[in-house]
Structure 1
C-alpha cells in the first residue's frame, strides 16, 4: 500500500491540482496538517473518501496502480456524517451514506456476517459503552432488527430518541411497559423510556460487533464509489 506522501501526490495529480497549497485551499485543510500527514505517514481516509465521492474517482485507483478484480463481494453502508453517542446523545441531520464493497471472506472476518444486505457502519462518540466500544471506533448495525418485540433483553442497540442518536444496552421490564437504556461505563446513569414516549423513539438496529479504527482502515482500502 502507498505511503501518505505518495497517496497525496497521486490524488493531487488525479484532481489536476498543481500544488499542495492549492489543494489545502480548495478542501479546507490546514497546510501544516497536510505536512504532518506526510511526515507521520498518517492517511486521512475520510477526507480521501469524501474527495473521491465528490469527484467520481474510484478509490482503488488512488490506493493501487492496478486494480485486482474482486469476484465475490458484498456491500455495506457507511454513514460518514452520522454518529451515535455513547454518552448523552448526538443530533444527526445528514443521512447520506457511502457504499463499502468487501469480499465476502473479509466481511465475514471483520463484520461477523454472511449477508450484509441490512448492515450499516456508524461511528461512536463518547466513553459510556467502554470497554465494548471506545470513542472514535465503529459499530456494525443490523438494520433488520429494529422492532421492540424482536430485540432481546440485554442487546446493544442504536436508538433515536427525539432526534438524538444513542448507542446503549437495552433492558426490558417484563412487568411494566417501559425499557431502560443502560451504559456499560458505570459513570453514566441509566434512563427509562415509558410507553407514552415510544412514539418519539425509534430503534435503528442491533449492534452486532464493534470495529477498531485499525480494522476499519483495513476495510477502507476495499471501498468502491
Structure 2
C-alpha cells in the first residue's frame, strides 16, 4: 500500500466522522504532521507509521484491518500465536557510564512458543521488555549487544540480576540490598562492586534470559 492509497483510506475514515471536502492538509493535521511535511512524505512515498497507528488507536480501528484487510478470524489466530514486546532503544551498560535516559522503543513480534522458554523462569503474568546490552562487565554470561529479556514488576530477591536505573544510567547487575544501599555486582572480576543509595535507584525488572546474534531485529 502506497501513500496515495493510505491517504484515501484516512479520508474515508474522516468522512465517516462527518467531515466534508477533506484535503491532504486535513489528513496531515489529524496525524499531527504539518501539511508541507506530509506533502513531502507523499511525494517520497514515506509512510508515517507511528502517526497513523496513533490515529487508528484513538478510533479503535484495527491496524491489520486498515493496512492488510485482515479479518478478525485471522487476527485472533495471530494473537494466539504471537506476542508484541517493546524493544527499548536504550542500551543497558554492563560496565561503567553509558548514561542514556531515552525511553523510546520499537515493537517486535515474537512467537509465543519462544517466549515460553523465557517465561518458564518467571511465569507469564509479568510483562516482558527487551533491552540491548553494552559493555563487558557481565561477561561471560551477558555479552555486548545481547538482547536481554526483562520481567517488569518481578519480586526482588538478593543475588538475582536486574535492570536498574541508577544515577550513572541504566545497568544490568547482580543486586544486593544492604541497609539503605544497593550494591551492584558484576560477573567480570575486573569490575569492583558499586554502591548507590536505594532511594537513588529504580529496579526496572528482573533479567530472565537473552537472545544473542539476532540480526533480523
Q: TM-score range by the shorter chain?
A: 0.5 to 0.7
Corresponding residue of 2:146: 137
> Tell me, which stretches of 5 or more residues in structure 1 are unaligned?
1-12, 16-50, 62-66, 221-225
Number of aligned residues: 155
Question: Secondary structure at 1:160's aligned position in 2?
Answer: strand
Question: TM-score, normalising length from structure 2?
Answer: 0.59
Corresponding residue of 1:88: 96
Q: Distance in 2 between matches of 1:155 and 1:139?
A: 14
Q: Distance in 1 between matches of 2:2 and 2:146?
A: 30
Question: TM-score, normalising length from structure 1?
Answer: 0.57
- Does 2:182 correspond to 1:179? yes
- Call closer, same or farther: CA 1:52–1:85 in 2, change over 3 Å: farther
Corresponding residue of 2:109: 101
* TM-fit CA distance, 1:53: 5.1
Q: Distance in 1 between matches of 2:48 and 2:162?
A: 31
Question: Secondary structure at 1:213's aligned position in 2?
Answer: coil
CA RMSD of aligned residues (A): 3.2
Tell which structure's C-alpha radius of gyration is larger: 2
Corresponding residue of 2:199: 199
State the structure with bigger RCO (CA 8 A, min sep 6), 1 or 2: 1
- Call closer, same or farther: CA 1:98–1:186 in 2, change over 3 Å: same
Q: C-alpha deviations, 1:59-84, integer Å up to 9, x for none? A: xx9xxxxx9963512221111x2010
Q: Distance in 2 between matches of 1:212 and 1:134?
A: 8
> Tell me, which stretches of 5 or more residues in structure 2 are unaligned?
4-46, 54-62, 68-73
